[in-house]
Amino acid sequence: MRIESPAFTEREMRGFLDEVVDHERQALADRLEADSARLGKLAATLTLPQRGRENSGGWSAQEILAHIVVLSKFYGVLTSRVGSGKVSQVELLEAVQSRDPAGEQLSSLPPDQLLAMAQRDHQRTIAYLRGADAVAMQRRAILYEGFSMSAAEIAQLPLCGHLEIHLDQLERTLQH
């Protein structure tokens, strides 16, 4: 192995870190693409709006799907707005508190329509992730006092991680 680190300059270190951020950005786009495909397979087993078949968390499969639509749009848009520098501060608590009424309204829509909405939002976010650069992905927004996240962290945790938790929940609900 050739030892090169003693000759690294700050410019080379930044270039290396940008390369890693770009790698992670592509991996996030791949992850969201896989999550969206998984959602498509799960949602295909739903037919008309279903009520009453609730999981242990108290949500029916239909309500979980509606919640996925809400979180997919909100965190996808937030990722791109933070990354583009359009937003540097978000009232996250206020946004989270308004999500349930939005999800409740959506839960009356047919599953295929909900799936289409979620997947459209996923595709927009995937396109953003594929085209963003390292600087955009590292931009941060304050989400509440003393807490901030980068565009990459928003895509990773509240979007992909949150989506995957609800995909697991949807899968369990559909198995019952």
DSSP secondary structure string for all residues of the chain:
----GGG--HHHHHHHHHHHHHHHHHHHHHHHHHHHHHHHHHHTT--S---S-B-TTS-BHHHHHHHHHHHHHHHHHHHHHHHHTS-SB--HHHHHHHHHHHHHHHTTS-HHHHHHHHHHHHHHHHHHHHH--HHHHH-EEEEETTEEEEHHHHIIIIIIIHHHHHHHHHHHHHH-
Q: Which residue type sits at 27?
A: A
What per-residue confidence (pLDDT) applies to 49?
Answer: 52
Least confident of 11-20, 47-56, 119-128: 47-56
Q: What is the pLDDT of residues 29-38, one digit of tens each?
A: 999 999 999 9
Q: What percent of the chain has pLDDT over 90?
A: 69
In a domain, 14, yes or no: yes
In a domain, 135, yes or no: yes
Name the residue range of residue 79's domain.
9-45+61-175
What per-residue confidence (pLDDT) applies to 17?
Answer: 84
pLDDT of 47 > 90? The answer is no
Contact 49, 33 (CB under 8 A): no
What per-residue confidence (pLDDT) applies to 83?
Answer: 98
In a domain, 4, yes or no: no
Hey, what are 173's tokens? Answer: 């609900």
Give the C-alpha separation, 104 to 102, whole Å: 5
Which is nearest to 61 in space by CA: 11, 97, 114?
114
pLDDT of 51 > 80? The answer is no
> Is the pTM higher than 0.85?
yes
pLDDT of 56 > 50? The answer is no
CATH code (residue 106): 1.20.120.450
What per-residue confidence (pLDDT) applies to 48?
Answer: 55
Q: What percent of the chain has pLDDT over 70?
A: 91
Q: What is the mean pLDDT of the chain?
A: 90
In a domain, 54, yes or no: no
Angle 61-84/92-106 helices, nearest 10 degrees?
A: 140
Tell me how many domains the chain contains.
1
pLDDT of 5 > 70? The answer is no
In a domain, 2, yes or no: no
Q: pLDDT higher for 30 or 98?
A: 30
In a domain, 95, yes or no: yes
How many C-beta atoms surround the C-beta of residue 142 within 10 A? Answer: 15
